[in-house]
């Protein structure tokens, strides 16, 4: 495989890229394939983008893999998606370790949240195997919904207040940040969505407050390294003032 080089100066690239990987089903439908084949093709696209992001010096790459709303899909498709995770992660761990990539999941982990034990075991094994990595952090948003995340954070802080260990008036943005599933991660600078859809779909609502939005018309299985570099180039051309008149230092 020929590795494409990102032509954007390093100091103008986003530290954290978040992606809504949309269009697997449409990609499969256009080829008269089962939707599951679209998800398998999407996995290959994810591998390509993970490698390209790491080569571009991205600090954090967050991929929206399965939302809390996705449980509404046909049970056959949901089961196939979850089975895909348990099939793939054991084979991906060595690659993540050899490429110094740290793996992390954000989302509801509790058994009542719906994720099968086998899925959580593979997630936790991969997190443990890569915990000492110092390169890019790969975050998988699995069984994730931003509203649910905010409710979880509110309950965490409310419990601390009820126990007397926290005064409500002391709650600030940093405290809420630390109660989110993304605690310790920088906010996304760039949010990419594929398949031409113009919505954020309950994804990182707090964290993307100042993210630049980029929509690509191609479906996720067709998104590649060149597509990622194009999004990074578009990001570098944006004037980011965060509400002020000049970009912050």
Active site residues: 22, 70
CA 204 to CA 24: how far, in whole Å?
21
What is the separation of C-alpha 177 from the centre of its chain, rounded to a whole number of angstroms? 17
Got the DSSP string for 111-125?
A: GGGS--HHHHHHHHH
> Which residue from 178, 140, 148 is spatially nearest to 160, judged by alpha carbons?
178
CA 125 to CA 128: how far, in whole Å?
5
Q: Are 58 and 15 within 8 A, CB to CB?
A: yes
Beta strands in 121-218 (DSSP E): 137-144, 190-193, 212-215
Q: Are 27 and 41 within 8 A, CB to CB?
A: yes
CA 180 to CA 209: how far, in whole Å?
15
CA 155 to CA 159: how far, in whole Å?
6
CA 12 to CA 212: how far, in whole Å?
13
């Amino acid at each position: 495989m020929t590795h494409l080089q990102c032509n954007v100066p390093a100091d103008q690239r986003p530290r954290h890229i978040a992606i809504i990987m949309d269009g697997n089903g449409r990609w499969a439908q256009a080829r008269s394939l089962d939707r599951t084949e679209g998800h398998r093709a999407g996995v290959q696209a994810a591998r390509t983008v993970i490698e390209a992001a790491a080569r571009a010096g991205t600090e954090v790459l967050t991929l929206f893999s399965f939302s809390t709303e996705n449980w509404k899909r046909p049970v056959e498709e949901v089961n196939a998606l979850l089975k895909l995770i348990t099939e793939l992660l054991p084979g991906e761990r060595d690659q993540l370790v050899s490429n110094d990539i740290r793996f992390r999941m954000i989302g509801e982990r509790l058994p009542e949240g719906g994720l099968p034990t086998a899925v959580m075991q593979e997630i936790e094994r991969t997190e443990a195997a890569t915990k000492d990595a110092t390169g890019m952090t790969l975050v998988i948003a699995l069984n994730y919904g931003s509203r649910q995340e905010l409710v979880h954070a509110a309950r965490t802080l409310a419990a601390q207040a009820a126990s007397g260990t926290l005064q409500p008036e002391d709650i600030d943005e940093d405290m809420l940040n630390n109660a989110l599933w993304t605690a310790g991660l920088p906010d996304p600078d760039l949010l990419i969505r594929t398949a031409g859809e113009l919505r954020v779909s309950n994804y990182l609502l707090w964290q993307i407050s100042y993210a630049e939005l980029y929509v690509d018309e191609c479906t996720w299985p067709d998104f590649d390294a060149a597509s990622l570099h194009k999004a990074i180039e578009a990001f570098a051309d944006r004037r980011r003032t965060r509400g002020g008149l000049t970009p912050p230092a």
